[in-house]
Amino acid sequence: MQEKQNNTGLIWFRNNLRTQDNSSLKKAIDNHKKVIAIFFFDPKNFKKEIFGFKKTEKFRAKFLIETITDLKENLAKLNITLLTYFDAPENKISFLVDEFSVDAIYTQKEWTTEEVETNNLIKSTLDENINFVEDYDQFLYHPETVSKNFEKIPNVFTAFRKKLEKYVEILPEITISKVASDNLVEDSTTIPTLQELGFTGFETHRNSAFSFKGGETEALKRIQQYFFETKKVGFYKQTRNGLVGIDYSTKFSAWLANGSLSAKTIYHKIKEYEQEFGSNQSTYWVIFELIWRDYFKYISLKYDAKIFKIGGILEKNYDWNTNEEIVQKWINGETKDDFVNANMIELKKTGWMSNRGRQNVASYFAKELLLDWRIGATYFESLLLDYDVHSNYGNWMYVAGVGNDPRDRKFNTKLQAERYDSNHKFRNIWLEKTLF
């Protein structure tokens, strides 16, 4: 075992907001006698973007506050202090490096444009002798085990999945050790309130399909409940296209998105469930969905900034329009399609929409209304509790015909409504007219 360095290891938490199965946390603890952690509520993430939507709206902001509160408590149990700032990381990290005699920064590897720009700004403020250690920590199949050349990643999902399942092993979870109690440092920082981030307080909507709180503790509770208490995972394949209630799907995506739950943890818990209760198509289907999630991350690694371009990875030149009135009617659930409207109202009031709903409203936006798909993607980024840059833009490209769908399909929203909401239960909930 290597000797620990006397200087401090600094863990910069990003979208890896957990204490279990965390590479950055593990490396910092293993390599340093002193470890501190930081998280930034970056003001840039709460401002309006190019199409006029806030990058992060109230739903995900509240979820993030809950997540960081939980992370701070869980790190404290490991005797690690989490310092929190409502500031840009590039403004603060170099000062913390000096204050705590930091010689290495550990963080999750990011590769999309804004995150790379932030990294470069930070590195420009640091001495060359500061070690900046980044780890891919958001995959089921780790990039080091998949490919050293992302250009070779198959463009079609089925080919991608089959190669992974045949040739690549899923790594075990990383175990984290507690550090000595004298590791804790004085902490005068605070976690910002919703109001300080620019929002008014709100209660979760009574009909929300996602009524869970943020944080690793809640995520692990959900696994226990969905897998071992109710055993609903055994019926996931049959229920996953549901629209009403909290249990038609796993609801893991929001915790996965900000990294308070790892994909590997879900996988190994499924294997534990299968050992005890047996495997079936449903247990495999949860893994199948995790592979889809990986797939869009690998497509992002392969194509880089193309996932944000209007022509997508195919560089197709469609004649998109940007009519603000039509966009607003889509947002407000005032289109000619009641199924689209119900899903959009659900999103606006709860920050959540089913996978089935997302496919339909995105297809309607791009293929029926012929609107610039990036506007829809940016709106989703703002509202969705489980926003993930790679899945969001990957899926929008897919349905808009500029991504990885080899068939370039258009969803028939009328037939979809008949199939998945034949009794109008979902539409009745969200299209109901009320006095107040």
Average pLDDT, the chain: 95
Distance CA 121, CA 142 (A): 27
Query: Does one domain contain both 292 and 244?
Result: yes
Q: How far apart are the first and last CA of the chain?
A: 65
Q: Which of 111, 137, 163 is the last residue of a domain?
A: 137
pLDDT of the residue at 436: 45
CATH number of domain containing 61: 3.40.50.620
What is residue 69's predicted lDDT score, i.e. its pLDDT? Answer: 98
At 127-147, the pLDDT tens digits run: 999 999 999 999 999 999 998
One domain, residues 228 and 298: yes
353 lies in some domain: yes
Pair 275, 394 in one domain? no
Domain for residue 218, yes or no? yes
**Residue 161 located in a structural domain:** yes
1 pLDDT band, cuts 50/70/90, is very low
Mean pLDDT of 404-431: 94
Same-domain status, 46 and 22? yes
Which pLDDT does position 7 carry in this prediction?
Answer: 86
For residue 217, what is the domain's CATH number? 1.25.40.80
- Same domain membership, residue 400 and residue 356: yes
pLDDT at 316: 92
**What is the reported pLDDT for 275?**
97
Nearest to 256 by CA among 5, 13, 2, 15: 15
Q: Nearest CA to 67 among 139, 18, 11, 136? A: 18
What does the alpha-carbon distance between residue 59 and residue 57 come to, in Å, rounded to a whole number?
Answer: 6
pTM, two decimal places: 0.96
> Is pLDDT above 80 for 151?
yes
Confidence at residue 250, expressed as pLDDT on a 0 to 100 scale: 98
Given a cut of 90, is residue 5 above it in pLDDT?
no
- Is residue 389 scored above 50 in pLDDT? yes
Give the list of residues 6+ apart from residue 311 with CB closer than 8 angstroms, or none: 317, 318, 402
**HEC string of the chain?**
CCCCEEEEEEEECCCCCCCCCCHHHHHHHHHEEEEEEEEECCHHHHCECCCCCECCCHHHHHHHHHHHHHHHHHHHHCCCCEEEECCCHHHHHHHHHHHCCEEEEEEECCCCHHHHHHHHHHHHCCCCCCEEEEECCCCCCCHHHHCCCHHHCCCCHHHHHHHHHHHCCCCCCCCCCCCCHHHCCCCCCCCCCCCCCCCCCCCCCCCCCCCCCCCHHHHHHHHHHHHHHCCHHHHHHHHCCCCCCCCCCCCCHHHHHCCCCCHHHHHHHHHHHHHHHCCCHHHHHHHHHHHHHHHHHHHHHHHHHHHHCCCCCCCCCCCCECCHHHHHHHHHCCCCCHHHHHHHHHHHHHCCCCHHHHHHHHHHHHHHCCECHHHHHHHHHHHCCCCCHHHHHHHHHHHHCCCCCCCCCCCCHHHHHHHHCCCCHHHHHHHCCCCC
- What pLDDT is stored for residue 148 in this prediction? 83
- Reported as a single tens digit per residue, the pLDDT across 230-285 is 999 999 999 999 999 999 999 999 999 999 999 999 999 999 999 999 999 999 99
Q: 327 and 426, same structural domain?
A: yes
Number of domains in the chain: 3
Q: Does 239 lie in the same domain as 121? A: no
- Asked if residue 189 is part of any domain, the answer here is no
Whether the per-residue pLDDT at 6 is higher than 80: the answer is no
Same domain, 345 and 387: yes
Last residue of a domain, one of 253, 288, 304: 304
Q: What is the CATH number of the domain that holds 409?
A: 1.10.579.10
- Examine the domain organization and report whether 142 and 131 are in the same domain: no
Range of 323's domain? 309-431
Task: Please identify, among 137, 160, 191, the residue that sits at the C-terminal boundary of a domain.
Answer: 137
Specify whether 295 is located in the same domain as 218: yes
Q: Report the Cα 37 to chain-centroid distance in Å.
A: 21
Mean pLDDT of the region 61-76: 98
Q: Is the pLDDT of residue 200 over 50?
A: yes
pLDDT band of 344, cuts 50, 70, 90: very high
What pLDDT is attached to residue 435?
Answer: 40
